[in-house]
Amino acid sequence: MDATIFKQNTLQRKCLLTMGGLILVNIIVWALAGITAREYPELLGSMVVAYTLGLRHAVDADHLAAIDNVTRKLIYQGMLNKARSRAALQAQQQKEKEEEEKNAQGIAQQEQEQEQDANAIAAQEGEREQVQEEEKMVEDEDQWTPPVCVGLFFSLGHSTIVIIASIALAVTATAIKDKFAAFGDTGGIIGTSVSAGFLFLIGFINLVVLIQVGQELRRVQRTGEYHYRDPVKEMIDATAAVTDDIEANVHSEQQKEEISTEIQTKKDMDGQGLKEEDKSIDHQVNNSKFQAGGLFARIFRPLFNLIDRSWKMYPLGVLFGLGFDTATEVGLLGIAATNAQAGFPTAVILIFPALFTAGMSLIDTLDGILMVNAYGWAFVNPVKKLWYNFVVTLMGVIVAFVVGLAELLGLLAEQLDLEGPFWDFFSMLSDNFGLIGMTLLSIATLTLMMAGAIQAASVSVPFTDAQTHGEITVDVGAGTYSLLVDTASANTWIGNENPYKPGPQSKDTGSTVTVSYYGYTFTGTEYTDDVVLGTATVSLQSFGVGTAQNFQDQDGVLGLGPTRLSAGTVSSGGEIPTVADNLFKQGIITEDVFAISFQSIAGSDEVSGDITFGEVDPTKFTGDIYCIPVTDTSPASDYWGINAAFSYGDTVLLAQTAGIIDYATTALTLATNGFTAFKQQTGAAEDTVTGLLTVTDEQYAAMQPLVLQFSGGSISIPPNGLIWPRSKNSEIGGVEGTIYLVVTDHGSSSGQGFDFTIGYRVLQRFYTVFNAGTNQVGIATTSFTDSQAN
Does residue 245 carry a catalytic annotation? no
Instruction: Kindly state the DSSP code that residue 603 receives in the 8-state scheme.
Output: T
Helical ranges in 143-229 per DSSP H? 150-179, 184-223
* Spatial separation of the C-alpha atoms in residues 780 and 785, rounded to whole Å: 9
211 residue type, one letter: I
236 near 1, Cβ under 8 Å? yes
What are the percentages of helix, strand and coil residues in the chain, rounded to 5?
55, 20, 25
- Report the candidate in 591, 8, 63 with the shortest Cα–Cα distance to residue 365: 63
C-alpha dist (Å) from residue 490 to 39, 311, 496, 575, 580 = 65, 46, 17, 9, 10
* Spatial separation of the C-alpha atoms in residues 588 and 614, rounded to whole Å: 8
- Report the candidate in 440, 431, 355, 446 with the shortest Cα–Cα distance to residue 398: 440
- H or E element: which one contains 670? strand 668-670
Rounded to the nearest 5°, which phi and psi values hold at 530? -75, 135
Does residue 486 carry a catalytic annotation? yes
266 near 250, Cβ under 8 Å? no
* Spatial separation of the C-alpha atoms in residues 765 and 723, rounded to whole Å: 12
C-alpha dist (Å) from residue 238 to 34, 230, 242, 629, 771 = 53, 13, 7, 12, 19
Strand, helix or coil for residue 702: coil
Q: Name the active-site residue from 486, 581, 592, 638.
A: 486
Q: Name the active-site residue from 68, 662, 745, 755.
A: 662
464 near 470, Cβ under 8 Å? yes
* Spatial separation of the C-alpha atoms in residues 717 and 648, rounded to whole Å: 10
- Helix 44-57 to helix 8-39 angle (10° resolution) is 150
**Catalytically annotated residues:** 486, 662
